Amino acid sequence: MEKIEKIMDREIAWRIFAHEFNTSNLHISEGDERAPNYIITPTGVKCNRLFIIGVITEVENIGKDNNLWRARIADPTGVFTIYAGQYQPEAAIFLSELEVPAYVALVGKARKYEPEDGNVYLSVRPEEINAADEKQRDMWVIETAERTLERIKIMEDALDSGLSGTQLQEFLEKKVKNPALINGVAHAIKHYKHLDRIIPELKNSLVHAVKTVTSDSGIIHNNPPEKTPEKPGIQELSSIKSTKSMAQEQKPDEADITEELEEGKDAKELKEIEEINKLKEPNEEPSKPEPKEIIADIIDRLDIGKGTSFSGVIETAQKAGIEAEIAESAIKELMDEGRCYEPKIGTLRKV
């Protein structure tokens, strides 16, 4: 008595936090090329459509002729990358006119982009986008946490059962109504080898997310609470780093750290926090040249006319004390800004 997914019915829009979304690295497509592509997340969401309410922190026009827009939507756990091109004219116009930061509600479809370098980038292609407000965002956070927790419980039960194959399928059919979720959970259990590590991470991110709703300041201290940490956000930082290292291969482009910290605050508060950070750490980041500028220098030095190798730039950057991840994202930024380009894969040239 297998439950059958009816194509007739409208596919639901899943509620997933960016952290879970970006941690996903399983993709399936059923049937011919016109069949929808799905990503399978660690909690077993077989995700095509999703619904997000978050804060747009950045909008960039990355195409020629103003026809491709990239934006970043932050939720309390991370950042979704969205692309709107000529086939999403309404979303593209909406983004082009937006003043950041801004709350938005977005319905979109999960997309993956796999350039030849072996990385997989997940993004969201908007179907509908509209302005939202703080209350809506908070409600979304609660709802998304609820839905995610339900899925985590299903996943935990399924793992505890130790079942697989048809037996697992039957076990899930008793607990889960949505056939897509049953299917997704089975896929996820087969694919994700470290669910014992991923699930606690997800739970932590849920706690963090829910606390952004209950907190006044937007700075969340995870359990156990520390006595007034000296540097706001430091603890946060370490937790984000660890989740990142797990998700690194899928990250669309490595968020710089301050942005990761922007989650769940409005702009005014953000500025205040930045100010505080500056006061407290006068010798830190602000006085150092940005990694991007160092990289620009490196490319400048290495490129003596015919371009230089991507890996060479990363190596040199590492010698200069810049982590590979940060170096890569800096290179991307430089490319986005049109200061360097990649004439062929693996080669960089300055402009």
Partner 1 sequence: MEIEYAPHVEEIKRALDNEIDEVSIIAELKKLLQFRVPLSEAKRSLIKKYGKGEKSIVRKLNEIKIGDHNIEITAEVLEVTKKTININNIEKTVFTGNLRDETAVRSFSAWSDHDLKAQDVINITGAYVRNWQERPEINLSPRSKVTKLSTRLNTLEESALRKLSEFKDGDINVHTQFAILSIDFHDINTKDGTKKIISGIIADDETKLPFTSWVIYPELVVGNTVEVKNGYVRSFRGIPTLNINEGSKIIKLVQNIEFREKVGSRIEDLIEKDGAYDIVVEGNILSIRPGSGLINRCPKCSRVIQKGMCRAHGKVDDKADMRIKAIIDDGTGAMTLVLDSRLTHKICGIGIEEAKNLARTAMSQKAVEEEIKRKLQGRRFAARGNMSKGEFGITLVANDVWEPHETLQDKAQKLLVRIAG
Q: How far is the CB of 78 from partner 1 (least distance, A)?
A: 18
Residue of 5, 60, 127, 325 interacting with partner 1 (CB under 8 A)? 127
CB of 155 to partner 1, least distance (A): 14
Does 239 sit near partner 1 (CB under 8 A)? no
Question: Which has the closest alpha carbon to 108: 86, 85, 132, 129?
Answer: 129
Residues between 266 and 305 that touch partner 1 (CB under 8 A): none
The answer to whether the beta carbons of residues 35 and 53 sit under 8 Å apart is no
Question: Which range touches partner 1 (CB under 8 A), out of 113-121, 128-136, 164-172, 308-316?
Answer: 128-136
Q: Which stretch binds partner 1 (CB under 8 A): 144-152, 256-264, 293-301, 330-338?
A: 144-152
Q: Going by C-beta distance under 8 Å and a sequence separation of 6 or more, which residues neighbour residue 233?
A: 219, 261, 273, 277
Amino acid identity of residue 182, one-letter, is: I
Cα–Cα distance measured from residue 150 to residue 142, given in angstroms and rounded to the nearest whole number: 12
Can residue 195 be called a binding residue for partner 1 (CB under 8 A)?
no
Q: Which of 30, 114, 117, 146 binds partner 1 (CB under 8 A)?
A: 146
Among 1, 2, 4, 10, interactor with partner 1 by CB under 8 A? 10
213 binds partner 1 (CB under 8 A): yes
Query: Is 145 a binder of partner 1 (CB under 8 A)?
Result: yes
Where residue 263 falls (left for φ over 0; alpha for ψ -120 to 50; beta otherwise) is beta
| Cα Rg, the chain, nearest whole Å | 21
Of the ranges 66-74, 199-207, 237-245, 301-309, which one interacts with partner 1 (CB under 8 A)?
199-207
Q: With binding defined as CB under 8 A, does residue 41 bind partner 1?
A: no
Tell whether residue 12 is a contact of partner 1 (CB under 8 A).
yes
β-partners of residue 125 are: 109
Contact between 142 and partner 1 by CB under 8 A: the answer reads: yes
State the Cα–Cα distance between residues 151 and 156, nearest whole angstrom: 9
- Pick out residues in 167-186 that bind partner 1 (CB under 8 A): 177-178
Spatial distance between the Cα atoms of 68 and 239, rounded to a whole number of angstroms: 33
| Least spacing, CB of residue 286 vs partner 1, in Å | 35
Bond preceding residue 224 cis, omega within 30 of 0:
yes
Whichever of 223 and 287 has its CB closer to partner 1, that residue is 223
Burial of 16 (0-12, 13-18, 19+ CB in 10 A): buried
Whole-angstrom Cα distance, residue 158 to residue 166?
Answer: 13
Q: Residues binding partner 1: what is the number (CB under 8 A)?
A: 40
Q: Binding to partner 1 by residue 53, rule CB under 8 A?
A: yes
> Which of residues 56, 105, 195, 348 is near partner 1 by CB under 8 A?
105
